[in-house]
A and B are shown apart, each in its own frame.
Chain A
Amino acid sequence: MTTYYLLVFGVLICFFSSVIYALHWSIRSGQFSDYQKGANSIFDDEEPVGEVTDFFPDMKPNTKEANRS
C-alpha cells in the first residue's frame, strides 16, 4: 500500500514540477514577449492574414468583402 502511495505522490510531484518547468521555460524562451507575433505565427505569404481558406465546394466567398470589418 505504501508503495502505491509513494508512486501516486511521485507522479504528482513529477507532474507539478513539469508544469512549473514548462511555465519557467516559456517565459525564459520569450513565448510571452511578443503577442502579436505569436498570433500571426500561423499565417504566411501563401495563406496570409485576410485570406479565407475554407468554403463549401460550390461557393467561394469574395475574400475582400467577407473580411470587411
Chain B
Amino acid sequence: MSAGVAQPSHKPLIAPEQMPVLRAEIDRSCAVPCLSWFASSMFWLIVGTLLGLLASLKLHSPELLGDIRWLTFGRVRPAHLNVVAFGWGCPAAFGVLLWLQCRLCRVRMIWPGVMVAACVIWNLGILIGTIALFAGKSLGIEWLEFPTYAAFLLFLGFALVAVWAMMTFAQRNQEHVYVSQWYMFAGLFWFPWLYVTVQLLLILMPVKGVTQAAITWWFGHNALGLWFSPIGLAAGYYLIPKVTGRPIYSYYLSLLGFWTLALFYNWAGIHHLIAGPLPAWLVTVSIVGSMMMLIPVAAVAINHHMTMRGNFKLLRYSPTLRFIVFGAMAYTLTSVQGSFMALRAYNEPTHFTHHTVGHAHLGLYAFFTMTMFGAMYYIVPRLTGREWASSKLMRIHWWGTSIGISLMFLVLTIGGFIQGFEMNQASESLGSAVDKHGLFGGISEWFGGFKARNGAVPFMDIVRGQIPWLVLRSITGVLLFVGHVAFFILMVMNVHAWGKTRLGPTLFTGRDRTYSRLMTDDGEGAEA
C-alpha cells in the first residue's frame, strides 16, 4: 500500500475540542473563492432566466423581437441552455463543491487565489461563448454549442478545480471518505473524460454518419447524470443529515447507490435516439441501462425519505431543508420518469415533444437548481458570518420557484402528451385557416373532444393546439424569474452585511459556548 493511504484506525486525526474552531476557520477560508463562484452564478441565473423567458415567449409569439438577427429563436434558445447549464449550474456546483470538500476533508481552503482565478477564467469562457452564440457562431451540436476557444477556457477552469480537489484530498484530516466525496470526485473525473472524448470525436476529427449522433447523446445525457446529478446528490447527502441532525438512514445503501450509478448511468445516452437509424442492439442496451438506473435511484430515494421520516415538520423552519427535500423528491421523480421515457412504447408519443422539455426542466431545475439553492442557503451565512436579512424574500423565492417549476412541469408534460399523440396521427392537410382555439380553447378541447376525435389531425391544428400550453409555460417562467430576483436581492443584502450577525456554532463568537459545553458534557458525541 502506498505511503499516502490512510490506515483504518480509531484515533481521530483532529481532537474533538478543536473541531468547532477548525470548522469556523474552514468556513471563513472558503469565503472569497466560494462567494465569487456564487456571485457569478447568480448573475448568469438572472441572464439565463431572461433568455429562457424570451425563448418561451417566442414559441407562442414568434414576431417578438423576430427582426433582430441576434435575438432570433435559433440563437436565444441555445444561449439559454448554455447560460443556465454552464453559467449558473456549474459555478453554483463549484462553489458548493469547494466548501463541501474543505469541510469533509477538514482542511482550510488551499490556493484561494487559484480558485478565484479559475472562477474568472470560467466566467470569461461563458461571456465569450454566449456572445459567440448570439453572433451566430454556434457549433450546432446540442450541449456543445460554445465555439472551441470558449470551451477551452471552461476546460481550463474545470481542470484547476479538479486539481485543487485532489490536492485538498491529499491533505485531509479525516480518514473516512464520506459518500458526498465519492460523488464529487466522480463528477470531477467523469466530466473531463466525457469532454475530451467528445471534443476529439466530434470537433477536432469528426466521425462520420450516425456515429456522430450516438456520441452527441452519449455526451449530452452523461453531462447531466455524471456531472450535475453527482454534485446535487453530494449536497443532499451532506445537508439533509446535517440540517436535521440525524445520520443517513442506511450508509450502506448510499454507497451501493453510488457504485451502481457509476456502473449503469453511462450506458443510457443512446435512448435519445430510439427509432433512429442506429443498430437496434445499441439502443436496446441503452434502454436496459436506463431501466437499471432504477436501482441507484431507489437507493437514494429510500435513504432520503427514511432520513427525513419523522422530521418533516422541520421543513417549516429550515429554508435549506425545504429546497433540498424538494430537490430530492424531484430527483426521484425525474429519474423514474426518465427510465420509463426510455421504453419504446412511452417514447413513441413523447419523443420530439414538449414532454421531453418538461423532463429536462424537472431534472436540471426541480432537482439540481433547487438543491443548489438549498445548499447556498446553508453555506452563504457561514461564509459571510451574517444571517439572511429577510424571511419574506426567502418565502417569495421558495414559493415562486417551487410553484413555478411544478406548474411548468405539469404544463409541458400534459401539453407534450397531447402534441405527441396528435403528431402520431397527423394528416397532411393544413387544417382550418381560422384559429378556433383561443387561450384556453385547446385545453378544453383536449378534455372534451381529443379522445373522441380518433381520426387524422391536421398539422396546423396540432401547432395551434399547443399555443395555450406554451402561454402557460411562459407564465410559470415569470414565477421562476420573480423567485430568482428575490434570491438575488437576498444575496446582495447578505454580502453587503445587512443581516444579523450569525451566532451559530460555526463562528468564533460561539467559542465560549463551545468550551463551556465541552467542560460540562461527558464528551459523548459524534464519534459514537
What residues on B are CB-neighbors of A60 within 8 Å?
317
- Could you tell me which residues of chain B, from 315 to 336, have a CB within 8 Å of some CB in chain A? 316-321
Complex Cα distance, B387 from A58, in Å, reads 10
B19 touches A50 (CB 8 A): no
Contact segment of B75-83, B414-422, B444-452, B498-506:
B498-506
A48 touches B243 (CB 8 A): no
What residues on A are CB-neighbors of B8 within 8 Å?
29-30, 33
User: A-B pairs with CB below 8 Å: how many?
Assistant: 177
Complex Cα distance, B8 from A33, in Å, reads 9
What residues on B are CB-neighbors of A25 within 8 Å?
5
B197 touches A54 (CB 8 A): no
Q: Which of B176, B252, B255, B314 has the most CB of A within 10 A?
A: B176
Q: How many residues of B contact A (CB 8 A)?
A: 76
B317 touches A52 (CB 8 A): yes
Q: Which 5 A-B pairs have the closest CB atoms?
A: A30-B8, A69-B310, A43-B526, A46-B20, A39-B247
Q: Write the A23-47 contact mask toward B (1 if CB under 8 angstroms, else 0).
A: 1011011111101111111111111
What residues on A are CB-neighbors of B176 within 8 Å?
31, 37-38, 41
Given A38-B251, A39-B247, A40-B528, A45–B317 Cβ distance below 8 Å?
no
What residues on B are CB-neighbors of A44 within 8 Å?
16, 19-20, 23, 525-527
Could you list 28 A-B pairs, sorted by A, with CB under 8 Å?
A: A1-B205, A7-B196, A7-B200, A29-B5, A29-B6, A30-B7, A32-B255, A41-B176, A42-B241, A42-B242, A43-B247, A43-B526, A44-B16, A45-B16, A45-B526, A47-B505, A48-B525, A49-B246, A50-B245, A52-B314, A52-B317, A54-B319, A55-B317, A56-B318, A56-B394, A59-B391, A61-B316, A69-B311
B377 touches A54 (CB 8 A): yes
B247 touches A49 (CB 8 A): yes
Given A4-B200, A49-B245, A54-B320, A38–B178 Cβ distance below 8 Å?
yes
Q: Write the B181-195 contact mask toward A (1 if CB under 8 angstroms, else 0).
A: 000010001100100
* B177 adjacent to chain A (CB < 8 Å): yes
A46 touches B514 (CB 8 A): yes
Q: Write the B1-31 contact mask toward A (1 if CB under 8 angstroms, else 0).
A: 1000111100000001101100100000000
Complex Cα distance, B247 from A58, in Å, reads 26
Complex Cα distance, B514 from A53, in Å, reads 15
Complex Cα distance, B189 from A7, in Å, reads 17
Q: How many residues of A contact B (CB 8 A)?
A: 51
Instruction: Specify the chain A residue showing the minimal Cβ separation from B528.
Output: A40
Instruction: Specify the chain A residue showing the minimal Cβ separation from B392.
Output: A58
What residues on B are CB-neighbors of A23 within 8 Å?
259
> Told that A66-B317, A67-B244 touch, could you supply 12 new A-B pairs with CB distance under 8 A?
A4-B200, A18-B189, A29-B1, A38-B176, A44-B527, A45-B16, A47-B242, A49-B525, A49-B528, A53-B243, A54-B243, A57-B500
What residues on B are CB-neighbors of A11 within 8 Å?
193, 196-197
Q: Write the B228-255 contact mask toward A (1 if CB under 8 angstroms, else 0).
A: 0000000000100111111110111001
Complex Cα distance, B179 from A26, in Å, reads 11
A61 touches B317 (CB 8 A): yes
Q: Which of A15, A47, A50, A54 has the most CB of B within 10 A?
A: A54
Instruction: Specify the chain B residue showing the minimal Cβ separation from A60.
Output: B317
Q: Write the B485-523 contact mask toward A (1 if CB under 8 angstroms, else 0).
A: 000000000000001100011100010001001100101
Complex Cα distance, B431 from A59, in Å, reads 59
Q: Contact check: which of A15, A50, A59, A63 meets B189 at CB < 8 Å?
A: A15
What residues on B are CB-neighbors of A19 within 8 Å?
262
Complex Cα distance, B465 from A18, in Å, reads 52
Complex Cα distance, B175 from A54, in Å, reads 27
Complex Cα distance, B243 from A39, in Å, reads 14
